[in-house]
Structure 1
Amino acid sequence: MEMKQLVAMVTVAEAGSVTHAAQMLHIVQPAVTRQIKTLEDELGVVLFDRTRQGMVLTSAGEVFLLRARRALQEMERARTELTPQTGDVTGLVSVGVLESLLDVIVPPLASSVAKRFPGVELRIMSGFSGYLQKWLDDGVVDIAVLYNLADTPAMRVKPLLSERLWAVAPADAGLLPAEPVTWDRVLRGPLILPILGHGLRTLIDKARFDIPIEPKISLETNSMSVQKQMVLAGRGWTILPGAGVARDIQEGTLSGAPLAEPRLSRSVVVGLQRAARIPRAVEAVNAELLRVSRNLVVSGAWPSATLVDAPKQ
């Protein structure tokens, strides 16, 4: 098995076709086809179904893709770590972040890492908490910012902060961050909510369990972006983590306020793989992530969050 075969396989999976993969790799199409076929012969499985719509991963291909990506990532990390350096921190670091935290965390983190550790290549991946946990377990990401999770055999978790959930409404509703809004007011109108089974939906349903008002749900979605777009379109109010709407409220496109009793919050944590050796670059980015997050809370740039201390070991 050769590295060029893994590169071809991953590129075809991402591009969806041999033709596009060949263009991305700057090689001829038959060479890509040959590398995929040789890899399949060596593994003894079919990695792709060849369809009119393009190359579609088989179940075996989906399993192998995960390992191939990890192998390529580890080889890239080894190359950067073994390259003679002058003492600077260098390397590739992948960080998984919840979609609802992207706007508040990623810009200051990227800026800070670029300034303090210019030799570090930062990669950001977004997903739901369950995906982030799996990616961390599988080594797809080195660090994950997720919520409501404790230590696992494969992961050590550091509590970072507690974040209140907010009611989010059109700007003309006049909700104010300093004035909590009652559940009675929120539940009286139509709501755009996460789908059943989504972590936020579970929190919402649990909090309103004892409130004798059955909400009128106008739309369910697994996308925070869609929730905000539907509020802007006048389809109703929604409930989201404050970090996900802080910029919208600041710009005046939406209004929002924390929910009154029962208060609704989630615990945001930072997860790292349990490993005998954590690369210097990963340690540096993790420390920077913690520092940037704390500064956001202390400065008021993350108004819905309060810092929490990790439990004593």
Structure 2
Amino acid sequence: MNQRDIEYFVKVVEAGSFSQAAILLGKTQPVLSRHVRDLETDLRVPLLYRNGRGVVLTEAGERLYARATSILEQLAEARTEMLNLCKGGIDSANIGMPPTVARILTVPLARTLYAAYPDIKLRFTEAFNGHLLEWLTNGRIDLAVLYANEATQRLNAEPLLTERMHLVASAERGPLPPRTPSRELPDLPLVLPSRNHGLRQQVETWATRQGMTLNVHAECDSISSMLRLVEGDMGCAILPEAAIQGEIEAGKLVSSLIVEPFLERSLVLATPTNRCVSSGMGELVRLIKRQMRALETPAEPAFAPPGPPSRITPAEILMTA
């Protein structure tokens, strides 16, 4: 039993005869007869019989007709709903972001989206990459800004920008040099997220490739708590500079670009492959990409301006820790 068999059966009943149904559907009578016969064979009961005036339903045919009309109406409603979903606007959105991204993107993005959609209901979900990937797949969130990895390749992922990571320390230590060679990192006490965090995984993978073993002094899965530990001179963090710009401007933290080689992370904007993207959601994606471009730093970062010699180097942090 398939949908076409049911559709033709219903049309024959409603038209009152095979000949009239054939005219309405633009099909031949033998084609309609074959579909109804296939339906009777599949159900193992006669559904209708012909008389001189057209067709008459059997008891089984009457029951099937009642169910079939309801089924076809529900299918038509579902089809219309899906088409409207893929063509329609947007009245709400749940956007996921990792903590370091949320610190710099949430407020400017909210301003941009409310300016474009004054009545939109926004929800921002902050979580680690792994959780965001799961929630994106099961429909808990609509789209997410993620750090690119193998898992994001299974999504509709559009590149946004690449961040270069900085060594972050307490301002109590004095200014850092504009750049810190990666070879100095193993000598520093670090405050990093636990190993289930994408940032920790990427930092350790990068360090292993450089033949380094990092000194993880403390683990902290809360960005705000991590920064408090660093401000309290309990160790150094590795973060994108944009995520700590407020603390730097407030004189609480200092940073230094990690070089030789750079430690970089790529951000993507991801939507699930198992759901259609409406025109409204597509516009939302475009607005987010535009906002990210506004936050993007140049490909060659602007380093600290020339000034007096630094009073302390990253390698000296360990000596006073």
Provide the TM-score with structure 2 as the length reference. Answer: 0.60
Distance 2:188 2:161 in 1: 31
Equivalent position of 2:247 in the other structure: 248
Equivalent position of 1:191 in the other structure: 190
Residue correspondence of structure 1 range 100-249 to structure 2 within 5 A: 100-149=100-149, 155-175=155-175, 179-209=178-208, 214-249=213-248
The answer as to whether partners of 1:207 and 1:262 remain within 8 angstroms in 2 is no
CA positional deviation for 1:285: 1.8
Distance 2:270 2:180 in 1: 33
Residues 224 and 287 (structure 1), Cα distance of their counterparts in 2 relative to 1, 3 Å cut: same
RMSD: 3.1
CA positional deviation for 1:242: 2.5
Equivalent position of 1:274 in the other structure: 273
Residues 219 and 119 (structure 1), Cα distance of their counterparts in 2 relative to 1, 3 Å cut: same
The answer as to whether partners of 1:101 and 1:244 remain within 8 angstroms in 2 is yes
Distance 1:154 1:211 in 2: 29
**Residues 82-115 of structure 1: CA distance to partner in whole angstroms, max 9, x if unpaired?**
9xxxxx9541111001111112111111001111
Task: Tell me which protein shows more helix as a share of its residues.
Answer: 2
The total of aligned residue pairs comes to 219
Distance 2:150 2:162 in 1: 14
Residues 220 and 112 (structure 1), Cα distance of their counterparts in 2 relative to 1, 3 Å cut: same
SS at match of 2:261: coil
Distance 2:94 2:100 in 1: 18
Distance 1:150 1:283 in 2: 24
Distance 2:153 2:259 in 1: 37
Distance 1:250 1:237 in 2: 18
Distance 2:193 2:152 in 1: 26
SS at match of 1:140: coil
**Residues 264-283 of structure 1: CA distance to partner in whole angstroms, max 9, x if unpaired?**
11110000122563233322
The answer as to whether partners of 1:168 and 1:256 remain within 8 angstroms in 2 is yes
The answer as to whether partners of 1:150 and 1:157 remain within 8 angstroms in 2 is no
The answer as to whether partners of 1:232 and 1:254 remain within 8 angstroms in 2 is yes
**Residues 162-198 of structure 1: CA distance to partner in whole angstroms, max 9, x if unpaired?**
111111001133446x822123443323221222243
Distance 2:185 2:108 in 1: 32
Distance 2:154 2:202 in 1: 26
Contiguous gaps of at least 5 residues in structure 1: 1-77, 83-87, 305-313
Distance 2:233 2:208 in 1: 26
SS at match of 2:109: helix
Distance 1:150 1:121 in 2: 32
Distance 2:210 2:183 in 1: 8
SS at match of 2:179: coil
Deviates more, 1:127-136 or 1:278-287: 278-287
Which one-letter code corresponds to 2:158 in the other structure?
A: K
Which one-letter code corresponds to 2:148 in the other structure?
A: N
Residues 187 and 143 (structure 1), Cα distance of their counterparts in 2 relative to 1, 3 Å cut: same
Which one-letter code corresponds to 1:190 in the other structure?
A: P
Distance 1:216 1:277 in 2: 45
Identity of aligned residues (%): 27
Distance 1:152 1:193 in 2: 23
SS at match of 1:274: coil
Residues 211 and 240 (structure 1), Cα distance of their counterparts in 2 relative to 1, 3 Å cut: same
Equivalent position of 1:58 in the other structure: none
